[in-house]
Amino acid sequence: MDTVIVTGASRGLGRHCAMSLHERGYRVIGISRSVKGDTPYEIRSADVADSASLSKALGDLKRDKSVYALINAAGIASMNLVITTPAETVRKIINTNLVGTILACQLVAPAMIRRGSGRIINFSTLGVPLAIKGEAIYIASKAGVEGFSRAFAREMSPHGVTVNTVAPGPIDTALIEKVPRDKIDAVVSRQIIERQAEPSDVWNIVSLLLSAESSMISGETIHVGGA
């Protein structure tokens, strides 16, 4: 049975992906800072921004050839202007979204290299191409994820591993629950497809990138909703 590791698996898009993977017969190992409620898949507690914590949670998988994919869905945001964003908040966003993605890739990639195939899917945001006011720190972290993913894709290509980024617009998850409706609508109106995406829209892209037929897709950022 192929193993897929999903960070941020206890809520939002991470949970939706983990549930969809479980329903399709994958062994799912979710990573979350806190375990809330029952899930039909395994959850391991770790902070993706903490290398020691993440290594403890995933260390046993470094040489496990059953590891087929890594989905980095863990992420946080703090909608605020740059000049009014506390330095600690800046560090927390960058460390969780960018550094956490890099650390997870470092830990899981060796298993895929040993296997000779694999899929890595990282998450960004439509906010990068749309340059949304009030999201500069969050956008900076996700732009870093996109650049990292493109370069990492070249490193992993000789080993049969693809690395891609999925960048959705606003979706009704905990990430945007405190954002006013008018601001959400303003972002959606700038998308090529002017409607708010559902988690299933994102899963459709993720499932494509996980498939064997996607072996020629790597180093790409796919914008869900269009920019």
Q: Is 138 a catalytic residue?
A: yes
Q: What is the C-alpha R_g of the chain?
A: 17
List Cβ neighbours of 73 (8 Å cut-off, separation of 6 or more): 6, 7, 8, 9, 12, 13, 14, 17, 123
Q: Which of 26, 41, 68, 138 is catalytic?
A: 138
Give the catalytic positions in this structure. Answer: 138
